[in-house]
Amino acid sequence: MYDVELTRSEFLIQDDEVILETTVGGLLREVAQAVPDQLALVEIDETGANGRRWTYKQLLQDAEDIARSLTTRYEPGERVCVWAPNIPEWVLLEYACSLAGLTLVTANPAYQVQELAYVLEQSRSVALFRTASFRGNPMAEIADEAVQGLPNLRDVIDIEDWDALLAQGQKSPQLPLVSASDPAQIQYTSGTTGFPKGAVLSHRGITNNARFYAERTGATPRAPWATMMPLFHTAGCGMAVLGSLQSRSPLFLVKLFGPEPVLEMIEREGIVATGGVPTMLVAMLEVMENRAFDLSALETFMSGGSMVAPDLVEKITTALGCTFQTVYGQTECSPLVTQHHVGEALADISTTVGQPMPQTEVSIRSTDKNSVVAIGDVGEICVRGYCTMLEYNDNPEATKATIDDDGWLHTGDLGTMDARGYVAVTGRVKEMIIRGGENLFPAEIENVLLTHPSVAEVAVVGLPDEKWGEVVAAFIRPAEGFDVDPETLKTHCRAEMAAIKTPVVWSKVNSFPLTGSGKIQKFQMRDNYLSGKLRAI
């Protein structure tokens, strides 16, 4: 824990750790040389059963074989897109692209034709590595349609066809020198407020960020990790894959999240560290209400992606019997900005997202003047340091709008900072509700509603209103055995916060539209209500 006493909401870079000039492929070589026969990767299939496994030596051998094949077909610096679920070939391609000097473009396996075509065209990908299908999504058919008319695309390859992966092109195989400053990936943002932009991330950014993450979790060598976060997201291919690599821990790769199979795996394999977004946590808790699991090996559970309600933190620490760490990050920051330390008080874990990561400068700045605000005041969370993206791909206007002239990356998230440097997220700049000139923050209202036993999940948004400008609306998925009772919930809200923050529109939902990383798409909830697809109770 950093011992600081701030006088304003600006946390300067802490240099207790150093930035290493590492690359994704270089790290794999380093670990494979040090512990060649140690277990590195285990496949967990759609049923939750164990599949194939690799030692670090085997992982490097397969990655280098694929990389040499890639160098016969593509030039260093070209972009290739991976469109598949959490399968070992995804991880192998991540390492292989690094070794071959290629930039990996990640795509959500739930994409449809228009979305996939956009990512392929916007990224200027020269190849698409796709699987045949996933969760009923006919990906091979979608790909055939999406690639039509794309001038840069030369190949469409079945990522699970090893003959195709290892096919030789016209050039002689030669692995290039790769620099830590080179682009490693183009990650398309989650799209909670609109269509995604491609954040170009460097090897230096994602490798050091993952190392700092692993160290702050207290990771130890050989302690098994598991990830159910999607690989196309930085939490999967960055924090989990590269974090477990640098802690020399075996990674159990979950193809498809199901709360019961995941809990069975944690019990069976003695998983020590894992994590998931709040929606996954809620699903796991619901299973655990009716079935007991031996989770005694589990030491740390990490969560982020959106604010984790205090009530949920208390429930998960009681149910899992382990340390809980909240993380806060953004794709554009490689991704982690803040994280809790091991052994922190529940009060801090449940009300903040921790202190900034090493070598990362964080400030809370006013949205009108871009000046640092006083301790405890709400402003935009801004980040500066090694972890910030290189740019938005082929989008200089968006890059300039996000990274100011002083190098501050404006996250678009609202938050506060206390004198110890602990950050709390209060919402999104574009999600902030302005009612009659008063600024209201959805996360605060959501956290109050989540303490009521009838509420399983909730999304609070602003709706247009002629008199007030905006009014507060709450979209609620009720807990099992409950219904949504607006009068009861109004009474609950008014007992906990000012009346102006109490929702005036209440709507019951069975589920929420989510991004690939599990964040609720609030703009979609708002649009659905305004178009009549959702109605008030």
What is the residue whose two structure tokens read 């991976």? 82
Phi, psi dihedral angles at 458 (to 5 degrees): -150, 145
> CA–CA separation, 70 vs 81, rounded Å?
13
Residue 295 contacts by C-beta under 8 Å, 6 or more apart in sequence? Answer: 263, 266, 267, 320, 321, 322
User: Residues 72, 39: contact at Cβ < 8 Å?
Assistant: no
Q: Which residues pair with 25 in a beta bridge?
A: none
Q: Angle at the Cα of 274 (from 44 to 290), degrees rounded to 5?
A: 80
How much of the chain, in percent, has pLDDT values that exceed 70? Answer: 97
User: Residues 452, 461: contact at Cβ < 8 Å?
Assistant: no
**Domains and their CATH numbers in the chain:** 10-171+179-417 (3.40.50.12780), 435-530 (3.30.300.30)
> CA–CA separation, 308 vs 233, rounded Å?
19
pLDDT of residue 305: 58
Q: What average pLDDT does range 305-328 have in this prediction?
A: 82
Query: What is the side-by-side strand order in the sheet with 455-465?
Result: 455-465, 469-478, 505-508
> CA–CA separation, 83 vs 107, rounded Å?
5
Confidence of residue 436 (pLDDT cuts 50, 70, 90): confident
> CA–CA separation, 424 vs 348, rounded Å?
10
Q: Angle at the Cα of 371 (from 369 to 375), degrees rounded to 5?
A: 130
Closest CA to 403 of 212, 119, 197, 121: 197
- CA 280 and chain centroid, separation: 13
Token readout for 63 is: 């990655």
Task: Give the tens place of pLDDT for each residue, 465-495.
Answer: 877 778 999 999 999 999 999 999 999 998 8
pLDDT of residue 192: 43
How much of the chain, in percent, has pLDDT values that exceed 90? Answer: 80
Task: Give the tens place of pLDDT for each residue, 38-82.
Answer: 999 999 999 999 999 999 999 999 999 999 999 999 999 999 999
For CA atoms 116, 117, 121, 124, the dihedral sign is: positive
How many CB atoms sit inside 10 A of residue 376's CB? 12
Closest CA to 354 of 381, 314, 327, 334: 327
Closest CA to 382 of 401, 365, 399, 358: 365
pLDDT over threshold 70, residue 194: no
Task: Give the tens place of pLDDT for each residue, 354-411.
Answer: 999 999 999 999 988 999 999 999 999 999 999 999 999 999 999 999 999 999 999 9
pTM (2 d.p.):
0.84
Strands 273-275 and 300-303: parallel
Least confident of 151-155, 312-316, 446-450: 312-316
Q: What average pLDDT does range 521-537 have in this prediction?
A: 91
Average pLDDT, the chain: 93
Confidence of residue 306 (pLDDT cuts 50, 70, 90): low
Query: What is the side-by-side strand order in the sheet with 300-303?
Result: 50-55, 39-44, 251-254, 225-227, 273-275, 300-303, 323-329, 336-339, 355-356
User: Residues 366, 13: contact at Cβ < 8 Å?
Assistant: no
Token readout for 391 is: 């740019």
What is the residue whose two structure tokens read 């909730």? 458
DSSP 8-state assignment for residue 438: E
Q: Angle at the Cα of 210 (from 321 to 521), degrees rounded to 5?
A: 75
> CA–CA separation, 417 vs 4, rounded Å?
12
pLDDT of residue 193: 44
Burial (0-12, 13-18, 19+ Cβ within 10 Å), 214: buried
Task: Give the tens place of pLDDT for each residue, 240-296.
Answer: 999 999 999 999 999 999 999 999 999 999 999 999 988 788 899 999 999 999 999
User: Residues 271, 298: contact at Cβ < 8 Å?
Assistant: yes
Alpha helix stretches (DSSP H) within 12-87: 24-34, 56-71
H or E segment to which residue 500 belongs:
none
> CA–CA separation, 370 vs 364, rounded Å?
9
> CA–CA separation, 57 vs 38, rounded Å?
8
Task: Compute the radius of gyration of the chain from its Cα atoms.
Answer: 23
Residue 68 contacts by C-beta under 8 Å, 6 or more apart in sequence? Answer: 100, 173, 175
Confidence of residue 440 (pLDDT cuts 50, 70, 90): confident
Task: Give the tens place of pLDDT for each residue, 101-139.
Answer: 999 999 989 888 988 999 999 999 999 999 999 999 999
